[in-house]
Structure 1
Amino acid sequence: MSNISLEKASLDDAEKLTELMKKTFDEEAKKWLSPHENIVDYNIQPPGYSSVEMTKYMIEELDYYRVQYNEELVGGIIVTITGKAFGRIDRIFIAPEYQGRGMGSKVIQLIEEEFPQVRTWDLETSSRQVTNHYFYKKMGYETTLETEDEYCFIKRKEEPATNGKAVVNKDLSNSQYENNNMKNTECYQVNLEGSSFCNSSLMNAQFSNCNLSSSSFQNINLRHSLYADLNLSNSKFRLVTLGGVSFMDTDLGDAGHPISFERCDLQGTKIKNSTLRNVEINNSDLTGMRIDGIPVEELLEAYYQVKNKKPD
């Protein structure tokens, strides 16, 4: 399969890649999910897999590669590289009509060659996609977790870290670090439960595939940060400055719990191409607010004139 190659995807590829991903994952759903059970499996049909906007986000923020076969686009692979030594295969897809030709194996080989410094690769797949389990094991991956819904895999290179400073399989519980220089430190599969960070610089830090449940962030400078592909259901934001913040391609999750804004200054806010059914605005300053170009103040004035008009 020497005529297979990887090319960095661009925003011009977004629609075609989305179409191809949707076609591939929908075909997988037909193969592994019963139409009578109404099962949702996000490893088979990942969140946003049919969204062009999600594809654009991944092209801009992750390492997204086109899979080319004889100059034809036949698939894609998306990876997250954390630090220098750790990589995660987020998604890989080959068009159904090209599967079974060894392309997936070649793509895995090419992506590992693209990032030779990565010593550890991991990925997840559905427990239902048993052919994937055999495929990843053939590619040198080992199973680290098996649940009813998901299988997790990892592949480690045998070579040690090039800088000779790797600390592996050590119990450092209850340690304290004060006034230390730990720039460019990398952590993978590290248990930091209950840890605390105070008066420390975390500039340009990267967090991916981490569990931050029940964490608290107070008095934090998060300017110019990126928040994308997050599940913030039932979270609370209090005393937060949101100047210049953009919320795009956001929904209320499966439960559909509504967002609540109270005692907030939202001057100049714009809401476009959004669903605002059953939204309620009470006891708020609506000066200058417009809906479809019509001043809300005029709409309310007209409404109350009609409501208060005495019958002839």
Structure 2
Amino acid sequence: MTVIEWAEPKDAGEILTVQRAAYVSEAQLYGDPFIPPLVESAEQVRVAVETGTVLVAREGERIVGAVRGRLSGTTCLVGRLVVAPDAQGRGVGGALLAALHEEVVSATAFDLFTGHLSEGNLRLYRRHGYQETSRERMSDHLTLIHMRREL
């Protein structure tokens, strides 16, 4: 059974391990082994846990997913939605996203972005009410798709 709860600073290392495992496929998809989620440090993750909303999905004692939210005015900026590769396809990402929507009660909108080739991510976000707002070409191999969920 998967339980969604607030992350604690001591979870930073395990969150980073899941994050790196989850983003390897993205790095391969875009041909870039230096994407920010792969080069972030455990200290940076710990600071995110201490200063924002970070939720984790646990199965027993193991963290199998995480998501971050940070308020900017009344908009929640969603980031680093990650699920361990062996736990993908079981609804963990959707449960984390739904829990973040419920947890950040003062938000009137949720914004996020993903790469244009990340079809699974795009499907998930659309299922949860996100709509494309813009595209940002970062390089020849990467265009970011910005999405928003209005409440």
- TM-score range (shorter-chain normalised) is 0.7 to 0.9
Query: Partners in 2 of 1:33 and 1:135 — Cα distance?
Result: 19
Q: Which has the higher contact order (CA 8 A, sep 6+)?
A: 2
Q: Distance in 2 between matches of 1:99 and 1:47?
A: 18
Post-superposition offset of 1:156: 0.4
State TM-score, norm by structure 1. 0.43
| Aligned match of 2:46 | 56
Cα distance, 1:128 vs. partner? Answer: 2.0
Matched-pair contact (CA < 8 Å) for 2:133–2:148: yes
Separation of aligned partners in 1, 2:61 and 2:129: 28
Q: Matches of 1:109 and 1:11 in 2, distance apart? A: 22
Secondary structure (helix, strand or coil) at the match of 2:129 reads coil
Counterpart of 2:67 (choices 64, 77, 80) is 77
1:145 and 1:129 map into 2 onto residues whose CA distance is 16
Residues 48 and 96 of structure 1: CA distance in aligned 2, closer, same or farther (over 3 Å): closer
**What are the equivalent positions in structure 2 for 1:35-184 lying under 5 Å apart?**
39=32, 45-46=35-36, 49-83=39-73, 85-148=74-137, 149-157=143-151
How far does the alpha carbon of each residue in 1:107-166 deviate from its partner, in whole angstroms, 9 at most, with x for none? 111111112332200001111212211221111100001234200000001xxxxxxxxx
Would you say the 8 A contact 2:23–2:37 is kept in 1? no
What RMSD over aligned residues (CA atoms) do the two structures have, in Å?
Answer: 2.0
1:175 counterpart residue number: none
Question: Could you tell me which amino acid in structure 1 is paired with residue 23 of structure 2?
Answer: F
Per-residue CA deviation, residues 12-34 of structure 1 (Å, 9 max, x unaligned), is 1121111111111113323x134
Residues 117 and 11 of structure 1, relative CA distance in 2, 3 Å threshold: closer
Q: Which has the higher strand share?
A: 2
**C-alpha contact (below 8 Å) 2:133/2:147 kept by paired residues:** yes
Distance (Å, rounded) in 2 between the aligned partners of 1:119 and 1:79: 13
**Rounded Cα–Cα distance in structure 1 between residues aligned with 2:3 and 2:149:** 22
Q: Larger % of helix: which?
A: 2
Q: Percent identity over the alignment?
A: 23
1:209-253 per-residue CA deviation (whole Å, 9 max, x = no partner) reads xxxxxxxxxxxxxxxxxxxxxxxxxxxxxxxxxxxxxxxxxxxxx
Q: How far apart are the structure 2 equivalents of 1:24 and 1:57? A: 20
The structure whose Rg is larger is 1
User: Under a length normalisation based on structure 2, what TM-score does the superposition of the two structures give?
Assistant: 0.84
Cross-structure match for 2:6: 8
Alignment size in residue pairs: 146
